[in-house]
Amino acid sequence: MKLSDLIARAGQLLHQAQAVVVLSGAGLSTPSGIPDFRSPGSGLWERVDPFEVASLTTFRHHPERFYQWVRPLAARILAAKPNAAHYTLAQLEATGKLRAVITQNIDRLHQRAGQRVVYEIHGSLDTATCGCCYRRFEAAEMMLAFIQEGTLPRCLHCGLILKPDVILMEEQLPHRVFEHARNAARQCDLMLVVGSSLEVMPAAGLPLEALNRGARLILVNYGATYLDERADVLIQADVAEVLPQMAKAAGLTDA
């Protein structure tokens, strides 16, 4: 089937849906200049062992190792701007059809595009927590100083190096946020997966929960996923190009 036909079919499903929920992954932000983690040849995990630089054990014993690795990524995130896909999703939310975005991304580009209901199941770099006194701090200025000067963020109370509120390897997802995400997935009648390879559990199980409760499924991702055969529409193309066309085909935007 031609790409234009797939977009038209996806637009039809989007038009018919009453409660849409989006699951977004790193592929949504690559058009904004933020590298993903698992793409062959270019993913961040192609060059390093994630357990060596981004695990909870590493952070507890060698936090400077984590910060050395994350510094260029944090700089990319700080410089990034939402792309057309982010803005399209925010427009869909404004129509009342899109109920929530569940994101695996830590860049907050959804919010910067105007999205209001966003469940960040892997956290973000906007806040950081002390592992000693458990105080939480707004981290924007600290992260900027770290990116520009290499100054490690430290607790203003006890001086310990702060851990950004992103989910590391070996770390559990934030329970309350994930339960909100799961409830949204269970209540939608259309799940739209954009830019996710669906390889990381438990996030990868959310579309299956939606399917098992009768929801339709649209997958927009360059690579294959374990749910490709169950998708009502499968589009392997650039999300920043496809989503605006899909929303237009649904009659929900003019762009």
Domains of the chain, with CATH numbers? 1-34+82-122+173-255 (3.40.50.1220), 39-79+125-166 (3.30.1600.10)
Instruction: Report pTM.
Output: 0.93
Bin 134: left if φ > 0, else alpha if -120 < ψ < 50, else beta.
left
The arithmetic mean of pLDDT across residues 220-227, rounded, is: 94
Mean pLDDT of the chain: 92
The whole-angstrom separation of Cα 135 and Cα 155 is 8
- Going by C-alpha positions, the residue among 66, 63, 108, 69 that lies closest to residue 90 is 108
The whole-angstrom separation of Cα 103 and Cα 217 is 16
Q: What is the pLDDT of residue 44?
A: 53
Which helix (H) or strand (E) covers residue 103, if one does? strand 98-103
Structure confidence by residue, pLDDT tens digits, 34-69: 987 554 544 454 466 666 778 999 999 999 999 998
Q: What is the pLDDT of residue 255?
A: 61
Structure confidence by residue, pLDDT tens digits, 226-243: 999 999 999 999 999 999
Q: Please name every residue paired with 234 in a beta bridge, in sequence order, or none if there are none.
A: 219
**Active site residues per annotation:** 122
DSSP state of 157: T
Residues 6+ apart with CB under 8 A from 225: 193, 196, 197, 198, 199, 219
